[in-house]
A and B are shown apart, each in its own frame.
Chain A
């Protein structure tokens, strides 16, 4: 089964108002080519779930800067002043979530869990409108799963079935986003044949991945 897709095949699946998870941490491990392909279309009003909004003219930051985003769900927007400007001007909505909670809510969605109990955020603004649950005398917040229509992720290497290998700190949110979206599109830097990856080496099993798009460097 060959999952290699071209630009038209994957771009046709992204619509206005789609909820899109995008891997990466300040641009490292970010599917930059997939983002550029979106920018070549008219797609707008995206709801983006990403750790951060990168920098003004990089990665996810380009989608924000080009007004393709109506809502950002992230742990940090401080490295991209344009996100803050649009938020203050009321042009986009921003929901800030502690990074560990963001990761765990995404993981929950992919793992079929109804939520997770975390001590993070107790006694802060994060706890407003959330169920607080006491277990063995300790308070936790009930945090609910976070799903997406599409996950745009990045890997260093894939076989044609979509088994993925990441490099160094470029792994970050990519493996958990690959489990939490209905459609998973992976931008990859190297493509090998099925059988060329040692099963022990695979970090995201190909069963989670719908499409593989070669990174720009491979085009």
Chain B
């Protein structure tokens, strides 16, 4: 299980470019920061009000005024900058974030995303997710391919309340890398040891196969 999460994070990290401003969602997406390739400089934005977020501080070095959007202590790197929530979301909504990486409960073939509530069960609130998905130039969904009981999370149509419509660009799971296009979902990469049929069987909509399908890095 842990290994799944690392594979997903590593494959997301490969998609980022030198100089990108990136916002990582809480949970699995935060692991992406651990796998940024050598020589690639990413500026991490934290929606609670700063750019230049660095690794977590050493024990005893925590700053009470400096946490990430998940409430965990972090550091701020040289060149970082702090701002208020209105400016933070102007950065997010205004198209100044190159990529955002978020987890998902469901994602569908139109690029719709559901990741903020399960009616009657879990109503934590959307936090900054709706703004991030609408505003970021590239929306990367990082999630396990199926639910705990093996049901597809990549669906023809999301049936949970949406976070945003038609905003997802790419889906990275422990089984595959899938690109969302206006023709549907294009299978780009599969995990080692899996067949295309395995991935299709765990995915509700028909995957489009075209060109070379690569093997994911693990």
Contact = CB atoms under 8 A, between A and B. Distances in A.
Interface size class, chain B? 35 or more
Nearest to A119: B134
Nearest to A79: B71
Nearest to B120: A88
A51 B41 CA distance: 31
B125 A25 contact: no
Interface residues of A, number: 47
B171 interface: no
A13 interface: no
B49 A124 contact: no
B93 A120 contact: yes
B199 interface: no
Interface stretch (A144-152, A167-175, A192-200): A167-175
A86 interface: no
A176 B85 contact: yes
A173 B48 CA distance: 9
Nearest to B130: A98
A157 interface: no
For the residues of B in contact with A, the DSSP-based class is loop
A26 interface: yes
A102 B112 CA distance: 23
Interface string A44-85: 000000011000000000000000000000111111000010
A99 B67 contact: no
Contacts, number: 142
Contact of A74 (B67, B93, B125, B164): B125
Contact of A168 (B50, B89, B164): B50
B46 interface: yes
B134 A176 contact: no
The CB with the most chain B CB atoms within 10 A, among A29, A77, A176, is that of A29
Interface in A95-128: 96, 98-104, 106-107, 118-126
B124 A77 contact: yes
Given A98-B126, A172-B48, A172-B84, A28 B67 contact: yes
Given A107-B86, A119-B134, A126-B130, A28 B48 contact: yes
A14 interface: no
Interface of B: 46-50, 63-67, 69, 71, 76, 82-86, 88-89, 92-93, 112, 122-131, 134-135, 161-166
